[in-house]
Structure 1
Amino acid sequence: MQTEKVVNHIVDWLKDYATNARVNGFVIGISGGIDSAVTSTLCAKTGLDLLCIEMPIHQAASHVTRAQEHIAQLKKRFSNVSDTRADLTPVFEEFKTEVSLEGKQAVVDMALANTRARLRMTTLYYHAGLLGLLVAGTGNKVEDFGVGFYTKYGDGGVDLSPIADLLKSEVYKIAEYLKVPKSIMKAAPSDGLFGDNRSDEDQIGASYSELEWAMQMLDEGKTADEFEGRQHEVFEIFMRYNRSNKHKMISIPICEIPNNLK
């Protein structure tokens, strides 16, 4: 990958899109992870306004520390960057008092995890509307089009996706070029939706490098039966997520009414 040229291409694309949309810049949620760090730095490089928002909900301390370190670095490097913090923990706790928490614990926990992401999306769009900004998405290609590892209308609810055509390994290469803090580079990827330090790999059962391999194999028309051992297991994991999350990756189904019925 021609890293510098890719970076310049994305920055130009962001700037052109925002200019044509006649908005002031971008707003992005900063999680302390590699994807939001790279995306926010790319947005900052446009020279347009960038608002970075911390939105903790019972957040793990390590995530908060990394997020704050990154925001401080961005503000030092770019004069167009500002930040704010919205502690959504009280909002989340109040929400829980108004809904049923009955059912299988794992199902309830997942529903609440997705609720966290949707509360954050709402917060981002509030600030976007207030300040004339676009909500920049942070999903990479494996998450967005491989395993669908994001929340529908949560972190998947964005105006534009600067890094969605980049594999996770490519995001790391760009992060190194952009001088993203080492603490973020070394941290295990995590969606941060459960208030602990569980990683994406803990949840999915495969690393991003394994998922990238499986995604490539699917593109080449391979099937699980062509692999053995760990490769077979990883391909099955990838396909399970790909199938179950397909509804996130395609347009909303529309019931089209035949002309003769209109």
Structure 2
Amino acid sequence: MILERFNALVFIGDSTAQTIYTALNILLREDLALGGLQQWMMNDQDRAACKCDNQFVNGDCLGYAIKGIEEVKKNRKESPYFCERIPHAYVPVDSTPASSIAQNAFKDLTYGRPNPWQPSPVIISFSPSLDITTTTRVLDEWASLAKGAERNIPLLFLGPQATGWSKKGKDGNAALWKFQEEITEPAKRRYYDLLGLWNLTAQAGSKDGGKYGEKVALVQAMMVINWLSKLGTS
């Protein structure tokens, strides 16, 4: 398994990072129907309502999204996760500086790992306001926290998804594309790799113009896995 190459894997940021982390859990658990959700908290009605695409597009189902490996190991002993040694989690962040809870969650996952050369990749998404100055501060903050670990922490910044025409009755893709172009150089100067999501989602169908469902999320997760596969391990 590719995760065995790493000390830890951390997703940080807004709903895009959470969506891709949910899709990664679906792949890891080999469960397209409910693999991204905390099934042990759901009744039969919830499970029926939250299958497949609804894991990503139904607001009532999003609250059941898995946040990390530890909660799965604790609640589902029969899960393939139970013997999995590599910690991974999603850390929600919607501001800068991030909360102490978010920073400590990151440190718990990445600081103090026994092999400083084995990577602990971090995937970050932050584009709620499309403000370059704010996003640059986010990049600085997490690059600084990664450096403070004195460990090998590769950084991947996720560009924004396209927005569908149905969102607020207009097309906001020009602003999204402009943001993606403008954030590229600041991210590279801070030693982030970049993964653009605009092209993938520009032609994808979306009921609300912002959520694209399971198929798109799984492709995005596989794109992240492809990036992980190219990282050196020493």
Highest Rg: 1 or 2? 1
Q: Which structure shows the higher helix fraction?
A: 1
TM > 0.5 between the two?
A: no
